[in-house]
Amino acid sequence: MRERRQIVDLWQRGNAVVLATLILVEGSSYRRAGARLLIAADGDYAGSISGGCLEAEVIRKAAWLVRDGAIVKRYSTLFDDTAEIPYGLGCGGTVDLLLEPANTPEFTALMHALESSLNNRRRYVVTKLPEGGRPLHRWIQDNDRKLIYASKESAATEASSTFDEWLDGPQQLFLFGAGDDARPMVQMAAMLGWRVTVIDRRPQWAKPERFPEAARVLCSGSLNDLSIGRRDAAIIMSHSYEQDRTWLTAVLPLGVRYLGLLGARHRSALLVSEAAAILGWDLTRACDGLFAPVGLDLGGDGAEAIALATIAEIHACCEGKLGVSRRMTPKLIAEQLADGGASRYLQSQCAL
């Protein structure tokens, strides 16, 4: 997503000449279909379509290749000097690139769609690929499949291959807690292009200057106007037991795809049991979808190590690549409540 923002920024400078889009991968490839490389007239560029194997070759020849319009060009990344398909550099696969000039309505419409997606306005793009002498055509729809753009006379063209894609908005991360350990969380999430909102009821912590990479820093005790959706991620990490219980009780029913709870097992067990009681849920329902202790078990300690483990876990969860994470279960909660650790913790909090 950060790369998409860089592409849009380069386009807005007004000197783009060619856009390369990875539309097909066969075998091994560093990037997936949908990766893009925008090339400017001064040789500057944004994005990437390989691990460095193809960029220089594409940048050098792109303007010449699209002199007569958009084309699809195949590149081999197999290390084979005798291959008929260029450009063998050993990455281990074959890719098809759509190269299109930047002086067309179709290109401009796609750039506007990319820009809209960065502002959380989802777009669906269908590109009819140029082949057999037929030019590129494109249709763009909003999240409700309402038509936003269509190439002129596109309905009259013959059928050809298409490249279809959803342009989703940035991953949203809500951090409930603005302590010092939230700062590396925000920094790492921002590096991935995520849109981060930090919320805390304590005005001395909830300050924008403490989190310059965050999209929003709110001093609030309410979920109003946050617009948290099912695709979003949230971490509860205020280090205030009462505040964490309030947030956990409020966020659990939203069904976000990642909900993490920072803290020791006995503390988390007590929080989950109390939140479940407030909601009238059983523990199985409360534990479903909850990650606690938060983060992959990568080892290390300190704010940066915890942030790395947590951001990695969220990324894996959102990409559908999650392996083994630490989770709260009804059995674990019962064990933590039975051994007295949770009770001692609660007594210590009451004594403060």
Q: What is the pLDDT of residue 122?
A: 95
Mean pLDDT for 62-67 is 95
Per DSSP, the three-state class of 289 is coil
Mean pLDDT for 173-195 is 96
Q: Where are the domains of the chain?
A: 2-167, 172-351
CA separation, residue 191 to residues 67, 186, 195, 196, 312 (Å)? 36, 9, 10, 11, 12
pLDDT exceeds 70 at position 342: no
What distance in Å separates the CA atoms of residue 333 and residue 272, rounded to the nearest whole number? Answer: 8
Own/partner contacts of 137-140, CB < 8 Å, gap of 24 or more, are 137/106, 138/106, 138/109, 138/110, 140/109, 140/110, 140/113
Lowest mean pLDDT among 89-98, 112-121, 210-219, 264-273: 89-98
Give the CATH fold of the 172-351 domain.
Answer: Rossmann fold (3.40.50)
Mean pLDDT for 225-243 is 93
Q: What pLDDT digit, counting tens, does each position of 139-182 carry?
A: 999 999 999 999 986 544 555 799 999 999 999 999 999 999 99
For the entire predicted model, the pTM comes to 0.81
What distance in Å separates the CA atoms of residue 10 and residue 306, rounded to the nearest whole number? Answer: 34
- Name the band, by pLDDT with cuts 50, 70 and 90, for residue 222: confident
Q: What is the pLDDT of residue 324?
A: 65
% of the chain at pLDDT higher than 90? 72
Classify residue 64 as exposed, middle or buried by CB count within 10 Å of its CB (0-12, 13-18, 19+): exposed
Lowest mean pLDDT among 185-189, 255-259, 264-268, 323-327: 323-327
- Name the band, by pLDDT with cuts 50, 70 and 90, for residue 70: very high
